[in-house]
Amino acid sequence: MKGENKSISKFEHRRLNLEQEKINLDKKRLRLEWFKSWTGVPLIAVLITGLLAYWGQVQKSRDNFALKSAEIVMKAPNQWAAGNKAYALRTIFSNKLPENFSDSFNPDDLPYHAPVDPVKIDRSNLLHLLVQNPSDTEAIIEFAKVLFPEDPFIKKMSQNILPADKANVADAKKPRG
């Protein structure tokens, strides 16, 4: 019987060793599976990073377009022209600008500023014309006064160049200088 116990114990010992090896192999497989599952994580991270970068570029593009549109509107010569430009941009780019782009701007809410005269006096050309035609100085200045009655440059010039009776300005009796 003692011999059987030895063979059983050898058998048991061998069986235990096999079980231990099985457990070790299962641990290795588990580590391998765990490693496989973590190799997908960097791929997912790269994908998420790419999507976020794309979304950021789309947002930046939208913001730049809205800013450029606002810049175009703000370069208008007066508030009514700005309102018209905003409406035109909203109509043309209805899918790219917010729905309230033109509605949120009301020129009547702003303090009144006289519309800019589209015909602006070019002072250097006027002076050049006066220098080239000294005999027609009075006629040129009178014509400029008719065209630009509120221009301070023309008023000052007529005070200083025309005789007092033709300057037609209350301050004409003041000494020139």
Mean pLDDT, range 13-40, rounded to an integer: 84
The model's confidence at residue 57, banded by pLDDT at 50, 70 and 90, is: very high
pLDDT at 157: 83
pLDDT at position 59, please?
93
Examine the pLDDT at 108 and tell me if it is beyond 60.
yes
Helix (H) or strand (E) holding 96: none
Task: Check residues 68 and 106 and name the one with the higher pLDDT.
Answer: 68
Angle (CA) 91 92 97, round 5°: 75
pTM of the model: 0.40
Q: For the residues 6-26, what does the mean pLDDT come to?
A: 84
The whole-number pLDDT of residue 55 equals 95
pLDDT(49) > 90? yes
What integer best gives the mean pLDDT of the chain?
Answer: 78
**What is the Cα–Cα distance from 37 to 31, expressed in whole angstroms?**
10
What is the rounded CA–CA span in Å between residue 88 and residue 97?
11
Q: What is the DSSP letter of 151?
A: -
